[in-house]
Amino acid sequence: MIRAPEYICSISPYVPGKPVEELERELGIEGSIKLASNENPLGPSPMAVDAIRGMLGDLHRYPDGSGFYLKEALSKRLDIAAEKIILGNGSNELIEMAVRTFLTPGDEAIMAKPSFVVYSMIVQAVGGTPISVPLQYYRHDLKKMADMITEKTKIVFIANPNNPTGTINNMEEMDAFMDRVPEGILVIVDEAYYEYVTSSDYPDSMQYLRDGKDILILRTFSKIYGLAGLRIGYGICKKEIAEMMNRIRQPFNTNSIAQRAAVMALQDMEHVMRSRRINEDGKRFLYREFTQMGIDYIPTQANFIYIPLKTIDAMEVYERLLRDGMIIRPVGKNEIRVTIGIQKENERFITAFKALFRL
């Protein structure tokens, strides 16, 4: 019998949720609300949707393998050379490309715990060793992460804002960390929720790139731009890093519809600003309700809220809310994560949550 290497067999696979339609069928419910995957409840920009419709007659053509127009649009928006931009089938693919490019069996990659589970999965998949550093006050302990760097370290992952906690590390902390990272180590700063951040103390990761640091900044069109179903993301880095990653990139890794929709989504800043306003309104509403209920929560800089339930079982909360048509995400034994929705979704969630605790 064929068998994969032990470092593959030991990976805990990512478990996706069932389709909403299947959950409704199984539970005999209708009109459920999904607040589990940090999607934009408004959906994509109408400009992006119109662009998609206009391309349906050209689906027999291969996409532009270089992503020329999207790179040009990003280049103008970011004021950076297009050759320093690399596109991916979601930022997930870019994580995998970076690990496959710069990590060899036996190498180490440092990351926070809990953080985005894909980091450790991909590191293990190439025979590398994930080194997990517990969060401190729900935030990356950058000092400890720097202390853990050894001659085996090749990559450090920093999710800022972090998923699942929604917290950020500030400018002073990031500056101190970047000053301690030796040359030859790639710092991957995952900014999937970048557009939702309102803190004035949020680090300018692009400045580290301008300063010549070995950094890969990851961003995505899956969150505030509402294009999660098309899987399109991008990385920003030195030209030399992009060139090395492009050596293993699949020829047509981003599809033509995703590229075109992303170009148009970038142009619709009104949609982005509306999405941010709705998120901030929803955040304030949920904060107020949680406070009145006596429920602890972690203030967020993203479009979701992390709720430590202390001794309450997260799976039990998930399953009981599911029966009320509310789909949230258990992210630990006693922790859940709830996406901020539009107001009627937030209100319905609070009603079900109060009923759960009999408040």
Look up residue 359 and give its two tokens: 């408040």
- Give pLDDT, residue 18: 63
> Which residues have CB under 8 Å from 271's CB, separation 6+?
42, 44, 45, 46, 47, 226, 265
Predicted confidence (pLDDT) per residue in 162-214, tens digit: 999 999 999 999 999 999 999 999 999 999 999 999 999 999 999 999 999 99
Question: pLDDT at residue 24 above 70?
Answer: yes
Nearest alpha-carbon partner for 266 in 161, 347, 195? 195
Domains 15-43+270-357 and 46-267 share a fold: no
CATH class of 15-43+270-357: alpha beta
Could you read off the pLDDT of 245-300 as tens digits, one per residue?
A: 999 999 999 999 999 999 999 999 999 999 999 999 999 999 999 999 999 999 99
What is the dihedral sign for C-alpha 221, 223, 224, 229?
A: positive
pLDDT on residue 9: 78
Q: Where are the domains of the chain?
A: 15-43+270-357, 46-267
pTM: 0.95
Please name the helix (run of DSSP H) or strand (run of DSSP E) that holds residue 27, with its range, or none: helix 20-27
Name the CATH architecture for the domain at 46-267: 3-Layer(aba) Sandwich (3.40)
Report the alpha-carbon distance of residue 187 to residue 203 in Å, rounded: 14
| CA distances to 86, 181, 249 from 209, in Å | 14, 14, 22
